[in-house]
Structure 1
């Protein structure tokens, strides 16, 4: 606390106005141009003099393009690439994170590498992984959004490696405002509505001001089956098939798994390779009808168990295309001049967002096979629901166990889905004032975020295994565990599960194994900041402006979870093993629920004390070729103290690290028409509390190969030898250090006339010690370890009883653990060019404005020792992204806005991976989407509009990326997304609405 007081007494920040020429609409009310904050600096008093590129987007312009949410409009900006949320439903949500949140992603570097600001103040994260949900930002009184894309850690601190996004409110709003809209797609579905109100009024003869707003939005969500161009063949989505080596990759919408079906396919474990019943091999039987087995019809085998066509199973249709979402936002601000030189403010907002997302309608529990067998859950021939003729034939051939490749689906099996309820509270208060020629301020802010995630249809693993293992007792199906007195009490009420048929599992059976799992994550942020800024003296080229600022900040999080402590108390397998095989849970892993979930996380925290200095130094003024030359210099030092632990039963540990950042910027105004700007900065991102202290969980590995001994988990390495068991522990890493980024920008701004401006900026970003989650069981990670003889840092990601010299699969792989955890081992590199052009004129006596934004990003490389480099540019983000807009007032009351965005082509597979792709299957065509807005000012106080999004009803091209080449792929192998997330999968969409101000 002493450090806090010392830093606070020295520190400062100023609230200053920028030149309104940055705004796109000069016709904005005068009140909207007051108290504007310069993003990216604490000393520059004119945004045009900033050496760091800033793209300014007025709320009016964003709403004219897309009057839905500000976030969805931002997703169409070229600077944003690979962002999730918006209309895209996320893939998972367990463990306290929500992958459907509105998370921005500057340049595709990740949502955690861009800092989110609200009126220049840091916004607390919503997700436990450090991501900020922009849905919490109040929209009704937003004035503009600044996208600042140079490194800004020296000004703002951690997370600003890729830049900062600053949401700026109108602090001088007066009057009453009402907004409302209703939208529907050209297909008559996806009906949304939005309503908001705002009020502002001066108080105490102008010394005070109060404003407040409330807004409600309802979005019903959309399923993939609602759009036939997303999913065109029955229940099966597009997939990328093949293996890239013997079978080149290609995409298809008729790919099936020939080992697992909706009714269940009987697969071999051991014994005779074929067992015949009425002339048909039992190992080719499929229960397409409840309790009735018919011959399985194979399609064309592609690779492994994947085939084209046939009777196999795959993911079904109930998957969200867009998550159901509704939110309520409230905002308020009070300002008061205590004296002529001291100003008080109090501002706050609360919002609640409720989302619902179908993740999958398939409940595949496909355990790994032993050597020579195929996959599925392991059952005995004593199973109570197995037809008698099949039981007799198998037992007659000496077969005691078999596997059933089963996908749980049907009328009685609920789809896998997750609901999210997010509550956010933010309160800030402080004083601002003048001390002679200096400005000072001191403030306090508190944020509290509560995110409740309920995974509604996970499996209770132990109940599932108990229910699957049934026997007949006096002719009645009974769970085997109930016949064992020592386990009868533990599994009292066990209902045996019938898996033989697409709808054979009854609702009662399903409800017994179903475990709705609740996760409640809480994040808090408290900060005290302050500082002083001003000009201590004049130079020959103008005033020297200096700012000292400081902040104390504490971030904390905790997680309540109904999942058990997986890495401390593994699933109790007693009584659940199939007789005469092994004492382990042959059908499942070591976690209590499936899919796996995070255990509860007692509170952990991170405290930060930091101080910064920034100076705007004039060098030349009004000399030939130097109308104005100045340097922008900044430096910051931060001290981080993190307290917590990964193994939550162990005592907390405290980790400390320092971070020093700096920035040097040049602003060279050659003439009225030419300006040159450049920056060089050292930035950082501190590890978030999830990366440091995510509670570990342990899960079984099935079919994983140990490349030192050749052993395969789930298989016996020799006749009569024990089955090899391997597990994986996933969790945080308290020893992770900050990432360090180096950013260079060089640009020129041309303004040949007041009507036209052109800005061209080159950027180069290198991030070292990038925090990357590394899985020790992956092939390349294992092989890097073994090649080093045990010296590689990757060797710490596995626990081997006898070291790395012993290659005996019988003794050195029986109790093997791998670890997946964050490491400072990666490097990210990207560079490119940003272009912004603005033109204003009059046509027929009415104003006409044109704006174009473009980003060319030829590379976004990820480099990690021991693995192949990848380049996401052209794979998970388009290399070239363009947006152009035209605004024209046909009359004084009628206006037209047209916006078109275009992206370059994409690839499904990263060429750097060296994998083979069939001709024509790696190319995802370029595409554009256009929006039209017609607005009519009925009276000076009332405006109505019609907005048409995706005017030409452009369909999204098929896009099915390989997981290692894109963050959008599902699963560990290949993706089934079907379209690029930034493409428009909804189709043509109509919105009618009104805006009024009195």
Structure 2
């Protein structure tokens, strides 16, 4: 075999490492021998002519991303089996304000790194997490995803791995590209276009590239799709307002209630949601959920307000149509890079990128209730006659009324976000000797987010208007009548509204240098090393509007300022030692060891290390294995975020509920008497015989914790790569890889789930056997006395016990040339999750739960046992078409694992998505592309409790069948 072909095979093996991910139809073409004197593979700093990856790397070509028809990079990467879909650019609630983050292995977006050409990209959060949509798609040459851990190589936060965007190094000419997407329903429009031009200069020693891109996506509201148009959770906050009478001691008499609604039709409490108000201000009874004795009575409309999943037995407001399903976004990208070869000893380079984008978040109008609600004195002049009658028939008829209101007159809660993200990198590389090279660079980046919030309500001013003897007429025209659909004057709207303006600034500085070369030679080859040093600092400054301080506003979550700075100084090194070569059964055998010491300005020194084995048995068979130790320090937001309100999902999870599956487990279970007594001790309402939790959300308190300690992680991989040993055209493109991986993370930083906290107060997992109200779990929340709902739920960042996840990545590739009738190829990539274990170690006896094969109600908590993609591609001359089949396994709800309430619709069936695309080279320099995504119009899987829109919109397709058309011209 010639030297050229030997090098090409080595490089092909290095880049193969898994037969390439998903829709990649071929490994990127191997360059000519003269252009591959050095190869740096993602996962190591060692530059080596015969470099190979000792840990699993999946490589996605730029063509695969473009041909998918998916408009944003995050949507494509989220289809990879190694990625757990987390917050995407279209997520509304929860929302990342248009940003898109990658989550490898489901360990969290802050536990993997995003790199550009092996260097840190600019982050947009207090943890330095990168929005991948700031990276221009048109200039991506390939994406290399390492999922075995890479902390010793790139930094201690690369616990789960690295996503490395390799950009095009050279470009000559001009290219225009555009893509248009539209759903079958005629909505969900997306359009993008970009222009790239570049060329050589300095007699061919330099190359410059410039790219400008534009993208726009239309909004889509939840009522645009049947699956998301109806609420699957309840709310006790209505557009017409509501009154929760509270404890039985001061509820209206049953006789008074019967006078209004008829004998035995309505409970004295008004029902699960208390009493509501019709558009004319009259009172209606909401009924009691899951209790046929008392149903909704007296409601006069409109019908659009009814959440049909519960009506007529129980009234709840359908808030979903007012929520955005897909965030609208408009984005500009600018990118340029310059490379110049002054000499073989000095090759300077520079790279600059800038992204500006706008995204709009919109939630249902502000609900103000419970701890964010109001009281109304019985002297208020706007109190309707029916309410006055009920209030007068109480034991204390002059007591103020606990009042809630959804402020539909002010419109939805909107968050208009403008992001400006830029980064400048300058550096130089070159040869020191024939066997030693260097690479030194510095970068500065800045991310600025401006948010303008609308729809917030000034609670203090609303309360002042309600307390005023004249109903507030002396403060704003007409006063404030919140009962029913009474009009609110513009003066009063202006008086009670708050437009909040928030500013977030993130800055990052990086300086790093690496030396790589040959130390000496052994019989099996040269010993190669890389040593380096780096400094990085990250600052985060969040300046919220003063009106968002706790207690003042209802609407978006309360906010307080956050600022802090972390800096890291690193020393690192790697060594590759060839042990054996050219022996029977040993084409080559070598080990790579790496170590990194990181000095953090808060936590001091920590060490990470790795050790890997690479054994090429023969030219076509290779075995690899590796272990890694990593230490991740807490981020700025994990450490320093102040304590503010939050609203975690808590659907049908309250042990005090009197009906349903949760009641059978707790209130009506073997310890029912103790459960009921504890409910009563917390709140007379919660202990009442008709209590059902008033909302699908709790009121929580989130925040940082300066007493956190670093996380530690151990990872392990072992696998093999096979490449066809046959020269036959029918078999020479056969390839396969199998890799087993395991990652164990200890002292995990995170917040405890709402259901875990509340249910452990009621002795879940033996956490409170005496049902003591002073138990530590019971002290982590309280209850709103008027409606019994869970409030002040303490969800601060804490060091929990561990995550332990493992599984197998499998890839297979095959193709053959059919001569005059074309070329056919198949690419398969799949992941099997063996386990995803978690332990919440607040006590040493906490159980370990395996969430493999489950789906949760928060983003990034879907762990299908199997997930994979099969691509079948056919090429004939200038025509190419492919069919992509994506599979997501069936999953149970994680609540069925923990012992929490197994609520209805807690599982999702297996799901297939089919995408068909085609492209044709009309001319040598003109290509058109068209295709259909979600060919079978598969609807998203619905389950409860869900992430949002009755499903998980990051995992399942919420748009339905859609078509795309693309065009590219090269000049």
For Structure 1 versus Structure 2, the TM-score category normalised by the shorter chain is 0.7 to 0.9
Aligned to 1:8: none
1:58 and 2:81 aligned: no
Contact 1:519–1:561 at 8 Å: present in 2 too? Answer: yes
**Alignment counterpart, residue 752 of structure 1, candidates 702, 720, 724:** 724
User: Unaligned 5+ residue runs, structure 1?
Assistant: 1-15, 240-255, 369-374, 483-491, 571-589, 642-654, 718-725, 801-815, 962-967, 971-975
**Alignment counterpart, residue 854 of structure 1, candidates 826, 830, 843:** 830
SS of the equivalent of 1:289 reads coil
Instruction: Compute the displacement of 1:699 (Å).
Output: 8.8
**Alignment counterpart, residue 495 of structure 2, candidates 512, 521, 544:** 512
**What root-mean-square deviation, in Å, do the aligned CA atoms of Structure 1 and Structure 2 show?**
3.7
Aligned to 1:187: 185
Aligned to 2:511: 528
User: Unaligned 5+ residue runs, structure 2?
Assistant: 1-9, 296-306, 657-674, 688-697, 726-731, 783-790, 856-861
Q: What TM-score, normalized by structure 2, do the two folds share?
A: 0.82
- Measure, in 2, the Cα distance between the counterparts of 1:64 and 1:818: 47
Instruction: Compute the displacement of 1:318 (Å).
Output: 1.7
Aligned pairs for 1:913-992 (under 5 A) are 913-917=898-902, 921-961=905-945, 969=947, 977-979=950-952, 981-992=954-965
1:872 and 2:842 aligned: no
Q: Do the aligned partners of residues 28 and 696 (structure 1) sit closer, same or farther apart at CA in structure 2, a change above 3 Å counting?
A: same
Aligned to 1:635: 595
1:263 and 2:263 aligned: no
Q: Do the aligned partners of residues 906 and 627 (structure 1) sit closer, same or farther apart at CA in structure 2, a change above 3 Å counting?
A: same
SS of the equivalent of 1:104 reads coil
- Measure, in 2, the Cα distance between the counterparts of 1:507 and 1:180: 45
Contact 1:384–1:478 at 8 Å: present in 2 too? Answer: no
1:994 and 2:954 aligned: no
SS of the equivalent of 1:463 reads helix
Q: Deviations over 1:284-319 (max 9, x none)?
A: 564322334456566743999998212332423121
Aligned pairs for 1:81-96 (under 5 A) are 81-86=84-89, 88-92=90-94
**Alignment counterpart, residue 238 of structure 1, candidates 225, 232, 235:** 232
Aligned pairs for 1:352-391 (under 5 A) are 352-359=356-363, 361-367=364-370, 377-388=374-385, 390-391=387-388
Aligned pairs for 1:246-257 (under 5 A) are 256-257=234-235
SS of the equivalent of 2:462 reads helix
- Measure, in 1, the Cα distance between the counterparts of 2:595 and 2:536: 18
- Measure, in 2, the Cα distance between the counterparts of 1:377 and 1:302: 30
Contact 1:626–1:668 at 8 Å: present in 2 too? Answer: yes
Contact 1:136–1:424 at 8 Å: present in 2 too? Answer: yes
Contact 2:40–2:48 at 8 Å: present in 1 too? Answer: no
Choose between structure 1 and 2: higher strand proportion.
1
Aligned pairs for 1:102-113 (under 5 A) are 102-113=100-111
Instruction: Compute the displacement of 1:523 (Å).
Output: 0.6
Aligned to 2:751: 773
Q: Deviations over 1:150-195 (max 9, x none)?
A: 1110001122111100001011111111001222111111221111
- Measure, in 2, the Cα distance between the counterparts of 1:126 and 1:304: 51
**Alignment counterpart, residue 311 of structure 2, candidates 309, 315, 320:** 309
Once the two structures are overlaid, the 10-residue window that deviates more, 749-758 or 776-785, is 776-785
Aligned to 1:964: none
Aligned to 2:628: 681
SS of the equivalent of 1:126 reads coil
Q: Deviations over 1:831-854 (max 9, x none)?
A: 100001111211244332211000
SS of the equivalent of 1:49 reads coil
Q: Do the aligned partners of residues 67 and 48 (structure 1) sit closer, same or farther apart at CA in structure 2, a change above 3 Å counting?
A: farther
Aligned to 2:612: 665
Contact 1:84–1:99 at 8 Å: present in 2 too? Answer: no
- Measure, in 1, the Cα distance between the counterparts of 2:50 and 2:915: 30
Aligned to 2:800: 825
Instruction: Compute the displacement of 1:684 (Å).
Output: 2.4
Q: Deviations over 1:539-579 (max 9, x none)?
A: 1101111000110111111111114685xxx6xxxxxxxxx
Contact 1:382–1:470 at 8 Å: present in 2 too? Answer: no
Aligned to 2:669: none
1:43 and 2:46 aligned: yes
Contact 1:545–1:616 at 8 Å: present in 2 too? Answer: yes
Instruction: Compute the displacement of 1:709 (Å).
Output: 12
- Measure, in 2, the Cα distance between the counterparts of 1:948 and 1:932: 5
Contact 1:130–1:689 at 8 Å: present in 2 too? Answer: no
- Measure, in 2, the Cα distance between the counterparts of 1:700 and 1:957: 24
SS of the equivalent of 1:993 reads strand
1:596 and 2:557 aligned: yes
Contact 1:461–1:594 at 8 Å: present in 2 too? Answer: no
- Measure, in 1, the Cα distance between the counterparts of 2:163 and 2:227: 34
Aligned to 1:372: none
Contact 2:586–2:617 at 8 Å: present in 1 too? Answer: yes
Q: Deviations over 1:603-633 (max 9, x none)?
A: 4211110111101110110112111101011
1:889 and 2:875 aligned: yes
Task: Work out the number of aligned pairs and report it.
Answer: 862
Aligned to 2:112: 114
- Measure, in 2, the Cα distance between the counterparts of 1:118 and 1:794: 46
SS of the equivalent of 2:537 reads strand
Aligned to 1:558: 541
- Measure, in 1, the Cα distance between the counterparts of 2:362 and 2:154: 38
SS of the equivalent of 1:279 reads helix
Q: Deviations over 1:399-418 (max 9, x none)?
A: 224646645254x3311222
- Measure, in 1, the Cα distance between the counterparts of 2:221 and 2:699: 36
Q: Do the aligned partners of residues 43 and 794 (structure 1) sit closer, same or farther apart at CA in structure 2, a change above 3 Å counting?
A: farther
1:422 and 2:426 aligned: no
SS of the equivalent of 2:519 reads strand
Q: Deviations over 1:403-458 (max 9, x none)?
A: 46645254x33112222111101000011111112001211000100112232222
Q: Deviations over 1:956-995 (max 9, x none)?
A: 121223xxxxxx636xxxxx63345311110111111111
Aligned pairs for 1:413-452 (under 5 A) are 413-436=410-433, 437-452=435-450
- Measure, in 2, the Cα distance between the counterparts of 1:510 and 1:36: 64
- Measure, in 2, the Cα distance between the counterparts of 1:289 and 1:750: 71
**Alignment counterpart, residue 400 of structure 1, candidates 386, 398, 401:** 398
Q: Do the aligned partners of residues 599 and 393 (structure 1) sit closer, same or farther apart at CA in structure 2, a change above 3 Å counting?
A: closer
- Measure, in 2, the Cα distance between the counterparts of 1:946 and 1:727: 47
Instruction: Compute the displacement of 1:67 (Å).
Output: 4.2
Q: Do the aligned partners of residues 716 and 630 (structure 1) sit closer, same or farther apart at CA in structure 2, a change above 3 Å counting?
A: closer
Aligned to 1:460: 458
- Measure, in 2, the Cα distance between the counterparts of 1:322 and 1:304: 38
Aligned to 1:500: 483
SS of the equivalent of 1:670 reads strand
- Measure, in 2, the Cα distance between the counterparts of 1:279 and 1:519: 51
Aligned to 1:287: 277
- Measure, in 1, the Cα distance between the counterparts of 2:13 and 2:646: 57
Q: Deviations over 1:778-834 (max 9, x none)?
A: 3467679988999x997999799xxxxxxxxxxxxxxx9985422222310101000
Aligned to 1:902: 887
Aligned pairs for 1:28-39 (under 5 A) are 37-39=40-42
Contact 1:85–1:99 at 8 Å: present in 2 too? Answer: no
Q: Do the aligned partners of residues 610 and 594 (structure 1) sit closer, same or farther apart at CA in structure 2, a change above 3 Å counting?
A: same
Q: Deviations over 1:647-670 (max 9, x none)?
A: xxxxxxxx3322101101011111
**Alignment counterpart, residue 912 of structure 1, candidates 876, 885, 897:** 897
SS of the equivalent of 1:80 reads coil
Q: Do the aligned partners of residues 328 and 969 (structure 1) sit closer, same or farther apart at CA in structure 2, a change above 3 Å counting?
A: same
- Measure, in 2, the Cα distance between the counterparts of 1:303 and 1:912: 33
Instruction: Compute the displacement of 1:339 (Å).
Output: 2.1
- Measure, in 1, the Cα distance between the counterparts of 2:615 and 2:747: 34
Q: Do the aligned partners of residues 92 and 656 (structure 1) sit closer, same or farther apart at CA in structure 2, a change above 3 Å counting?
A: same
